[in-house]
Chain A
Amino acid sequence: MKCFVGIDLGSTTTKAVVMDDNGQSLGHGITNSRSNYDTASKVAKMEALVSARLTMFRRALKSIDELNGMVDDVIDGLERNFRLELFLEQLGDLRQTCIKQVRQPGYTGQWDQLSEALDEIFNRLEQSLLALFAPGAERKSDFFRDLAGAEYMNVGEKVAAESGLAFDNLLNVYDKSIIEVENRPPETALAEKFLIALDRVFTERKIPADTQIVRSRIEEALGIDFEETYTVGTGYGRVRLPFPKEHIRSEILCHGLGAHLMYPKTRTVLDIGGQDTKGIQVDGNGIVANFQMNDRCAAGCGRYLGYIADEMNMGLHELGPMAMKATRTVRINSTCTVFAGAELRDRLSLGEKREDIIAGLHRAIILRAMSIISRSGGITDEFTFTGGVAKNEAAVKELRLLVNENYGDVTINIDPDSIYTGALGAAEFARRAGTGVPQSH
C-alpha cells in the first residue's frame, strides 16, 4: 500500500508519522535527535513504520471473533516482545562494539581483563534488563540509550569493584560505543522479529483462538508492503535533512495543519517546544493565517524549564508534579532565563518554598507564551496546545487559568500525542504532494 511519511526534526527529539492515502495516520515514532540528524530521521521513521505495522496487525486481528476484547492485549504483548528483540539485538551490538573498543591502543595490557569484565557486565545486563520487558513491567523510556545506560552504570560499578578494575575505563568504553551503536539503525528484517515476538506471546499466555490462524493473519499483515510514496521533512533541523527542497516544509505550516487534522475546529495553536514557542492562527482548512515565534530570547521555551531543573538539581519531569504541590504561586518577574536563576536563588534565600517558586516559574513561562499568542492575534475558539510542555500538568493548569481570564470560555485541546503534531502535518503535506491534491486542501 501507498504510504506517506512526515518527519519533524526537533532540537531534542525527532518524530515521524506514517499516513495512508486516505489521510489516516497509521503510526508514529520518536527518537532522540542525537548529533546525527540523518540517523535520527531514519530511526524515527523505522519506529513509525513499526507502529504502522502494529496498526495493520490490529486491523487483521479484529476479524478473529475469539479475540474480541483482547486484541489490544495481544498487540501490546507483540510490541513488547518485538522491542525486546530489537533491544537484545542492540545490546549484542553494544557488547561487540565495547569489546572492539577495548582493543584500542589506549588499553594495551589490560584488554583481557577488560574484555572479561565486559562479558560479565553484559551477561548480567541481559538478565536484569529482560525484566524490563516482562508483562506489566514499566519502562521509563523506549530509547536504547536510556534503558541500557543507567543499568550499565549500576552493573559496571559492581563488576569493576569485584575485579579491581578502574570503573573510569569501563565508562569510557561505554561512552564511545553507545554513540556508534545509536547511530547504527537496526538492519535485520523486522518481519522476522515480529514472528519471534509472536511466538513469545504464545508462550507467555494462553490465547483463546487458534494460534495458527492468528499467525497467518499476522503473516498476511506483514505481507502488506509499505510503499513510501512521498516524504516531507520539517522542524528545527529540516535544512539538514537529505531531502530536496520541495520535500521540506516550515514547521509553522506543519504545526498548523497537524493541529487542524487533530482538531478540525482549531483556530489558534500554541506550541511550546525545546527551542522555541510558536503562536499560530489557522483558518478552517488548516491554512496558517498568522504566526509569531519567541524572539531571540529563550524565555518561555522548554529550554527555560530545563535550565530551572538544572538550577534546582531536579529532573525536568519532576518540575510539573512539584509545582502542583504549591499552595501559592510566587511571582517570578524575570523573563530572562539567566536572571530567573538568580531570582530563584534570591527567593529561596528569602525562605520561599521550592514548590511555590516552581509554580511561579511555570506561570512565568505561560505568561510569555500568552504574549506570543496575543502578538499573533489572540485566541479564537478552539485552541490547541501542543509540544513537550503540553505534557507538563502544572504548565497546563496555568495555561487554562490564563486563557480563561483573558479570552473567556474557550475549548482547549491537548492531545497526549501532541508531540507528533508537526510530523502529522508534514505527513499530510506529503500525502497531498504524492497524490496530487492541492497543497491548501
Chain B
Amino acid sequence: MSTSTIIERCNELFEDLDFTAAREWKAAEAGRKVIGFMPVYIPEEIIHAAGMLPLGVVGGGDQLEVIHGDAYYQSYICRIPRSTIELGVTKRLDFVDGMLFPSICDVIRNLSGMWKMLYPDVYVRYFDVPQNYLNDIGGEYYRHELEELRDGLAELNGNEITDEALNASIKIYNERRALVREIYAFRSETPWRAPAAEVYLLMRAGLVLPVEEHIVMMRDYLEAAIAEDRPMRDSCRVVISGSFCEQPPLNLIKSIEMSGCYIVDDDYLLVNRWLLEDVDADGDPLLNLALAFIHKSADTAAKYCTSKEDVGQFLLESVRNSNAEGVIFAAPSFCDPALLERPMLADRMSEHNIPHISFKYAENSGQMQPIREQAGTFADSIKLWS
C-alpha cells in the first residue's frame, strides 16, 4: 500500500464530521459503547478494557459551520468548545454513550457541566489529573480517579473491568505508543519522507479508529514511507508548541511546511504519545498507569511545573532530541494555558539561543497568507544565521 492510499483514508476519516467509522464500529455488534474524550489526555486503556471505543473529539475544524455553538459562548472564548457543542446540538455525537472532559483549562472544565445539563442521559465525567507528582499524594489521588473512571464505565456496561483486561489493553497501547514514537523519530530524521500533514492525519485517524486498526495503519504507513523516495527540500527544522488542545486547520500545517519549515516535533494530538515510555503491563494496572502519568508523561501548559528551572525543559529537550533549529509557538486564540505559559517558554528558548516566533490561530482560521509570511521569514532568518 502506498502512503497516498493510506493518507487518503486518513483524510476521509478526518473530514467525516459524522464519525461514520465509529458509528459503524458501534453498529457492528449489539451492546457496543463509544466514549468520547477531549484533549489532552485520557487513559484510553480503561475504555478499551471495557470493550468500548475511545473516540477523540477535538472540535469541528474549518469545515463545520457553527451556529448553535456560538450561542453558548462569548466572543472571547476559544473555538473548540463551540464547535464541540455544535457537533452535539446537530446530533453528530448522538451515538456517543459517554463524554470525558480532561483537566486542561476552565473552559473545557465548565463544558463538562454544560454537557451534563445538555445531555442528562450521557455518562459525563470531568477527568481530573494530579498536579502533585509525589507517589503517595498525587499518585494516590490519581489512582482513585482512575478507579472511579473504571467503575463508572463498568457500571455503564454492566460488566466488571478486570485487571487482566486492563493489562492486556496496556500491552496493546504500548504497541501503539512504540509505533507512534517510531513514526515521530522517522519524521524527525527524514522530515521530507513524512510530511507533517501526513503524520498529522495518520495520528488523527487514531482518534476515531479502534487501536488495533490504527496500529496496522501506522505500520503500513511507516513501511510505505521508508520505501518511497521523496525529494528533500532546503527547509529548516522547527518544533511546534502550544497546539495541544484546539487543533490548527490542516492548511496551517501545510502552510508552515510549504514556507520552508520542516516540522520535526509538535504537540498536536498528544493523547497518542502522552505517556513517553511503555507502561508496565504486569501487576496493578491502575497504579502503573498512575505512575506513568506522574513520572513519564509529556508536558503542556496544562500541567503544573514544580520548579522554576523545570519550566520549558520538556520543550528544550524536544528541540534537542529532534535537532530543531527553532520553535514556532502556535497557540489557539484565547487559549489560557498556552498563552499564559508562552512568555516563560519564550524566555527559556532565548536563554538557550533558540530562535522562536509566535502566532495565534483558530481551528477555522481562513487566511494563511500571514502565517506563510511569518514562517517563511523565520525559515530565511534561521538559514541566514546558521
Show the binding face of A for B, using Cβ within 8 Å: 295-297, 299, 331-335, 339, 342-343, 345-347, 349, 367-368, 370-372, 374-375, 402, 406
Whether A342 touches B75, Cβ cut-off 8 Å, given contacts A371-B68, A374-B68, is: no
A342 touches B369 (CB 8 A): yes
Q: Which residues of B contact A335 (CB under 8 A)?
A: 75
Other-chain contact of A332, B63, B70, B366, B368 (Cβ < 8 Å) = B366
Other-chain contact of B65, A339, A367, A372 (Cβ < 8 Å) = A367
| A299 vs B74: C-alpha distance when bound (angstroms) | 13
Q: Specify the chain B residue showing the minimal Cβ separation from A339.
A: B367
Q: Specify the chain B residue showing the minimal Cβ separation from A371.
A: B70
Interchain nearest-CB distance for B338 vs A (Å): 20
Whether A406 touches B366, Cβ cut-off 8 Å, given contacts A297-B75, A333-B62, is: no
Other-chain contact of A342, B65, B71, B72, B370 (Cβ < 8 Å) = B370
A-B contact pairs, 24 of them (CB 8 A): A295-B75, A296-B75, A339-B366, A342-B367, A343-B367, A345-B367, A345-B369, A346-B366, A346-B368, A367-B65, A367-B66, A367-B70, A368-B70, A370-B67, A371-B66, A371-B68, A371-B69, A372-B71, A374-B71, A375-B70, A375-B71, A375-B72, A406-B67, A406-B68
Chain A interface mostly helix, strand, loop or mixed? helix
Interchain nearest-CB distance for B225 vs A (Å): 30
Interchain nearest-CB distance for B134 vs A (Å): 44
B67 touches A331 (CB 8 A): no
Q: Which residues of A contact B369 (CB under 8 A)?
A: 342, 345-346, 349
A371 touches B367 (CB 8 A): no
| A343 vs B68: C-alpha distance when bound (angstroms) | 23
Other-chain contact of B74, A295, A342, A367, A370 (Cβ < 8 Å) = A295
B71 touches A371 (CB 8 A): yes
B67 touches A374 (CB 8 A): yes
Q: Which residues of B contact A374 (CB under 8 A)?
A: 67-68, 70-71
| A120 vs B366: C-alpha distance when bound (angstroms) | 55
Whether A334 touches B367, Cβ cut-off 8 Å, given contacts A367-B65, A371-B66, is: yes
Interchain nearest-CB distance for A377 vs B (Å): 9
Contact with A along B51-66 (1 / 0, CB 8 A): 0000000000011011
Having A331-B65, A333-B365, A345-B369, one finds 17 other A-B pairs with CB under 8 Å, namely A299-B75, A331-B63, A331-B366, A334-B365, A334-B367, A335-B75, A342-B369, A346-B367, A346-B368, A367-B66, A370-B67, A371-B67, A371-B70, A374-B68, A375-B72, A402-B67, A406-B67
Q: Which residues of B contact A406 (CB under 8 A)?
A: 67-68
Q: Which residues of B contact A368 (CB under 8 A)?
A: 70
Query: Does B364 sit within 8 A of A, measured CB to CB?
Result: yes
Interchain nearest-CB distance for B28 vs A (Å): 31
Interchain nearest-CB distance for A227 vs B (Å): 46
B366 touches A334 (CB 8 A): yes
Q: How many A-B residue pairs have CB under 8 A?
A: 57
Q: Which residues of A contact B68 (CB under 8 A)?
A: 371, 374, 406
Interchain nearest-CB distance for B368 vs A (Å): 7
Q: Which residues of B contact A299 (CB under 8 A)?
A: 75
| A335 vs B363: C-alpha distance when bound (angstroms) | 13
Which residues of chain B from 53 to 112 have a CB within 8 Å of any chain A CB? 62-63, 65-72, 74-75
Chain B interface mostly helix, strand, loop or mixed? loop
| A370 vs B62: C-alpha distance when bound (angstroms) | 18
B75 touches A333 (CB 8 A): no
Q: Which residues of B contact A347 (CB under 8 A)?
A: 366
| A331 vs B75: C-alpha distance when bound (angstroms) | 20
Which residues of chain B from 360 to 386 have a CB within 8 Å of any chain A CB? 362, 364-370
| A109 vs B211: C-alpha distance when bound (angstroms) | 91
Q: Which residues of A contact B71 (CB under 8 A)?
A: 371-372, 374-375
Interchain nearest-CB distance for A278 vs B (Å): 14
A367 touches B67 (CB 8 A): yes
| A332 vs B217: C-alpha distance when bound (angstroms) | 34
Q: Specify the chain A residue showing the minimal Cβ separation from B249.
A: A333
| A406 vs B70: C-alpha distance when bound (angstroms) | 14
Q: Which residues of A contact B75 (CB under 8 A)?
A: 295-297, 299, 335
| A346 vs B366: C-alpha distance when bound (angstroms) | 8
Q: Which residues of B contact A367 (CB under 8 A)?
A: 65-67, 70
Question: Considering residues B69, B367, B368, which has the most beta carbons from chain A within 10 angstroms of its beta carbon?
Answer: B367
Q: Which residues of A contact B370 (CB under 8 A)?
A: 342
| A295 vs B369: C-alpha distance when bound (angstroms) | 28
| A161 vs B70: C-alpha distance when bound (angstroms) | 57
| A150 vs B28: C-alpha distance when bound (angstroms) | 72
* Top 7 closest pairs, chain A to chain B, by CB: A371-B70, A374-B71, A375-B71, A333-B366, A346-B367, A333-B364, A297-B75
Q: Which residues of A contact B74 (CB under 8 A)?
A: 295
Q: Which residues of B contact A339 (CB under 8 A)?
A: 366-367
Q: Specify the chain B residue showing the minimal Cβ separation from A344.
A: B367
Q: Which residues of A contact B65 (CB under 8 A)?
A: 331, 367
| A343 vs B370: C-alpha distance when bound (angstroms) | 10
| A333 vs B365: C-alpha distance when bound (angstroms) | 6
| A193 vs B369: C-alpha distance when bound (angstroms) | 60
| A374 vs B73: C-alpha distance when bound (angstroms) | 11
Interchain nearest-CB distance for B114 vs A (Å): 14
Interchain nearest-CB distance for A237 vs B (Å): 25
Q: Specify the chain B residue showing the minimal Cβ separation from A295.
A: B75
Interchain nearest-CB distance for B329 vs A (Å): 20
Question: Considering residues B63, B70, B74, B368, which has the most beta carbons from chain A within 10 angstroms of its beta carbon?
Answer: B70
Q: Which residues of A contact B366 (CB under 8 A)?
A: 331-334, 339, 343, 346-347
Interchain nearest-CB distance for A118 vs B (Å): 50
Q: Which residues of A contact B72 (CB under 8 A)?
A: 375
| A375 vs B368: C-alpha distance when bound (angstroms) | 31
Q: Specify the chain A residue showing the minimal Cβ separation from B364.
A: A333
| A367 vs B66: C-alpha distance when bound (angstroms) | 8
Interchain nearest-CB distance for A343 vs B (Å): 4
Interchain nearest-CB distance for A259 vs B (Å): 21
| A370 vs B63: C-alpha distance when bound (angstroms) | 17
Q: Which residues of B contact A402 (CB under 8 A)?
A: 67
Q: Which residues of B contact A343 (CB under 8 A)?
A: 366-367
| A402 vs B65: C-alpha distance when bound (angstroms) | 11
Q: Specify the chain B residue showing the minimal Cβ separation from A377.
A: B71
Interchain nearest-CB distance for B92 vs A (Å): 14
Contact with A along B203-231 (1 / 0, CB 8 A): 00000000000000000000000000000
Q: Which residues of A contact B63 (CB under 8 A)?
A: 331
